[in-house]
Amino acid sequence: MYDSVIFDHDGVLTTLVDLSPLRDATWDAFAELGVSDPDPDHVEQVVIHVSPEDVRAAADPYDLDPETLFRVRDERQSAAQKRAIADGQKVPYDDFDALRRIDAPMGIVSSNQQATIDFVVDHLDAGDLFGTAYGREPSMTSLHRKKPEPYYLERAMADLGVESPLFVGDSDSDIAAAEAAGVDSAFIRRGHRADHTPTPDPTHEIAGLDDLLELDGVPVVGDAVSLSLPRIGLGTMGLDAADEAAAVTTALELGYRHVDTAQIYGNEAVVGDALAAADVPREDVTLATKVWADSLAPADVRRTTRESLDRLGVDYVDLLYVHRPIDTYDAEATLSAFDELVDDGLVRGVGVSNFAVAEVDEALDLLDAPLVAHQTEYHPLFQRPALLDHAAERGYGVVAYSPLSGGRVREVDEVVAVAERHDATPEAVSLAWLAAKGLCPIPKASSERHLRANLDAVSLELDAADVATIDSIESEVELFPQ
């Protein structure tokens, strides 16, 4: 998980200014230094993308001190940009407010003038957003320090006290600076970069700042809301032998991106080994586990969660559930401990499991972190439409365990009839039905054939009549009653 997000400024946070004011400011700098009619090529040489050699080449024909020329040029250009900002010609992009949802220290590292960056932060009243903001000092030394050198980026990291930031930029020099600093980068493809191929390759590519909220590893205020569940996951209850747990590795390599386990399953260590063995980045996987009913006192929540992380071999889990609201569960005390784990970065999102609607309401009222999901038994023979209505109303996801009715869907006439219409298996239809209703099913499977079939099933398109046929089943076979 990234411990901060640092941004370039021009073309990332605020729109680019037209070159005309910068060019005019550079002419003014020459005039201020007594050169009333400089060669236009010399002026153009120090408008943008300036190197020390450019400054010397522009200064020498007029016996100007290069350092003085550069300082005055920087002062005049900064003044021009401040006017453009104050006049509304250079404005924040429409998605700027997305930054207020990032729950991590933030900073700015720009190759623009320090005076310009300070003015921008003040003008946008964004001092509360950025813990540090670097531009260049008005000296030629800064030209040796600006991006693609990592100098200012590393200073910003030191100021923020961070080691693993994401650096967001719109230029090759931004990506190169991140690479030189040994940190990840995100190339933002604004309109002026529509056809650009960044070099070196960035870690991520985004269309706008809103996309940052969807990147795995970017902490977000109410991160649970932005933690979108894949359409299907892998249930692991009963996968405890090493050969069985290898199904987790196979599943991830087939394309599964959601793995569900629990402390009570006794298989977190083998699931963690299987996760480590898969050639899939950790941040691409939604990993969930559950705190069992005898460990829901606050101190036990904290202790057993750290033990789960150790067994899983990870620094955080994406989703931590209250497994059942029984035994040592105390809503206020237990959920407060879950909130602390989110604040500490050990857990990205909070879930509940096997709750009644009234208990979900209570959890929603008590939690500071938004509720990501309610995991519940849900299949054609055990339907909870009131819970789905409640989830839609209150904005949390529903994860369906035992989605195949413990293997009984093959015997359900309505499911079989829909399967025959689609030349599909009853199991595929059951999973497709759940996906069509917005649930995330987590079937268990150990063979590659079944893993593939389940993964493909959620792409099966059922029409409204198919869904209604299965909805109409009048049965209540609860496999795991409380």
Among 174, 198, 221, identify where a domain stops.
Answer: 221
For residues 178 and 327, state if they share a domain.
Answer: no
CA distance 253 to 257: 9
List Cα–Cα distances, 228 to 90, 370, 381, in angstroms. Answer: 34, 13, 27
Residue 476 belongs to some domain of the structure: no
Domain CATH for 145: 3.40.50.1000
Give residue 227's pLDDT: 66
Q: Which of 189, 221, 253 is the last residue of a domain?
A: 221
3 state SS of 478 = coil
Closest CA to 142 of 132, 133, 152: 152
156 CB-near residues (< 8 Å, 6+ apart)? 6, 107, 108, 109, 132, 134, 165
Question: What is the full DSSP assignment across 20-69?
Answer: HHHHHHHHHHHHHTT-SS--HHHHHHTTSS--HHHHHHHHGGGT--HHHH
pLDDT at residue 422, as a whole number: 96
Q: Give me the domain span that covers residue 35.
A: 19-86
Q: What are phi and psi of 466, to 5 degrees?
A: -60, -45
Distance CA(36)–CA(39), nearest Å, equals: 10
Residue 258 Ramachandran class (φ > 0 left, ψ -120 to 50 alpha, else beta): beta
Global pTM reads 0.57
Assess if residue 286 is contained within a domain: yes
Q: Per the domain annotation, does 477 fall within a domain?
A: no
For residues 170 and 310, membership in a common domain is answered with: no
Counted domains in the chain: 3
Is 478 within the bounds of a domain? no
CA angle 58, 59, 60 (to 5 degrees): 100
DSSP 210: G
Q: What DSSP string describes 222-240?
A: THHHH-PPPS--EE-TT--
Structure tokens at 433: 């039905």
Cβ atoms of 329 and 295 closer than 8 Å? no
Residue 105 lies inside a defined structural domain of this protein: yes
Residues 75, 198 within the same domain: no
Note whether 243 and 135 are same-domain residues. no
**Per-residue tokens: 379:** 């299949």
Angle between helices 268-277 and 242-254 (to 10 degrees): 40
| End-to-end Cα spacing for the chain | 36
The answer to whether residues 67 and 100 belong to one domain is no
Helix axes 331-343, 298-312, angle to 10 degrees: 40
Taking the chain (482 residues) in runs of 10, the rounded mean pLDDT of each run is 94 93 96 96 96 97 97 96 93 92 92 96 90 96 97 97 96 98 97 95 96 87 60 91 83 96 95 93 93 97 97 95 96 96 90 96 93 95 94 91 94 96 96 94 94 94 95 87 75
Mutual angle of helices 268-277 and 298-312, in 10-degree steps = 40
For residue 245, give Cα distances in angstroms to 267, 375, 454. Answer: 8, 22, 17
Tokens standing for 83? 């006017």
pLDDT of 246: 87
Residue 241 lies in a domain: yes
In contact, 133 and 108? CB cutoff 8 Å: yes
Sign of torsion over alpha carbons 379, 380, 385, 389: positive
Q: Are residues 154 and 191 in the same domain?
A: yes
Secondary structure (3-state) at 279:
coil
Domain co-membership, 418 together with 283: yes
Q: Which one from 2, 152, 256, 265 is the annotated catalytic residue? A: 265
357: amino acid identity, one letter: V
Whether residue 480 lies inside any domain: the answer is no
pLDDT at 225: 40
- Do 283 and 379 belong together in one domain? yes
Q: 281 and 298 in one domain? A: yes
**Amino acid (1-letter code) at residue 432:** A
Q: Among residues 64, 86, 108, which one ends one of the domains?
A: 86
Q: Enter the tokens of residue 120.
A: 């921008």
**Is residue 99 located within the same domain as residue 38?**
no
Structure tokens at 240: 């405890």
Task: Verify that 280 and 425 share a domain, yes or no.
Answer: yes
Q: Given strand 317-322, what is the order of strands in its sheet?
A: 234-235, 258-260, 286-291, 317-322, 347-353, 371-377, 397-401, 440-441
CATH number at residue 458: 3.20.20.100
Taking alpha carbons only, the member of 330, 335, 293, 328 closest to residue 482 is 293
Q: Are residues 160 and 130 in the same domain?
A: yes
The rounded distance, in Å, linking the Cα atoms of 324 and 14 is 48
Q: Two tokens at 64? A: 């100007």
Catalytic residue flag (residue 396): no
- Upstream peptide bond of 92 is cis (omega within 30 degrees of 0): no
**Helix/strand number for the chain, H first, E second:** 19, 14
Tell me if 107 is assigned to some domain: yes
Taking the CA atoms of the chain, what radius of gyration do you get in angstroms? 28
